[in-house]
Amino acid sequence: MSNHLFNIFPNERYMDLTLYQYGWEQCEPAHSYGPASRNHYLFHYIIKGKGVLHHTDDHGQTHIYNLKPHQGFLICPELVNTYIADKEDPWEYAWVEFDGLRVKEFLETAGLTERSPIYRSASQDLRGGMKEELLNIVHGKEHSSLYQIGHLYLFLDLLIQSSFNRKEFSAGKLKDFYIREAISFIEQNYSHPITVEDIAIFCNLNRSYLGKIFRDELNKTPQQFLIYYRMNRAAELLKFSETTVGEIGKLVGYPNQLHFSRAFKNVFGIPPTEWRRENQVYQPLKEA
pLDDT tens, per residue, the chain with 288 residues: 456 666 655 555 556 788 899 999 999 999 999 899 998 999 999 999 999 999 988 778 889 999 999 999 999 998 999 999 999 999 999 999 999 877 888 898 899 988 899 999 988 999 999 999 999 999 988 888 889 999 999 999 999 999 998 876 554 467 878 888 899 899 989 999 999 999 999 988 889 999 999 988 888 899 999 999 999 999 989 988 889 999 999 999 999 999 999 999 998 999 999 999 888 775 544 443
Indicate if 22 and 152 belong to the same structural domain.
Answer: yes
Indicate if 17 and 134 belong to the same structural domain.
Answer: yes
Residue 288 located in a structural domain: no
Counting the structural domains of the chain, the total is: 2
Indicate if 121 and 246 belong to the same structural domain.
Answer: no
Indicate if 25 and 118 belong to the same structural domain.
Answer: yes
Domain residues for the domain of 185 are: 174-279
Indicate if 13 and 84 belong to the same structural domain.
Answer: yes
Q: Which of 162, 194, 220 is the last residue of a domain?
A: 162
**What pLDDT does residue 9 have?**
52
Question: Where does residue 52 rank: exposed (0-12), middle (13-18), buried (19+ CB within 10 A)?
Answer: middle
Indicate if 260 and 158 belong to the same structural domain.
Answer: no
Q: Which of 162, 186, 203 is the last residue of a domain?
A: 162
Q: How many CB atoms lie within 10 A of CB 115?
A: 12
Please give the model's pTM, rounded to 2 decimal places.
0.64
Indicate if 218 and 158 belong to the same structural domain.
Answer: no
Residue 70 located in a structural domain: yes
Q: Which of 102, 133, 162 is the last residue of a domain?
A: 162
Residue 286 located in a structural domain: no
Indicate if 22 and 146 belong to the same structural domain.
Answer: yes
Residue 44 located in a structural domain: yes
Indicate if 218 and 243 belong to the same structural domain.
Answer: yes
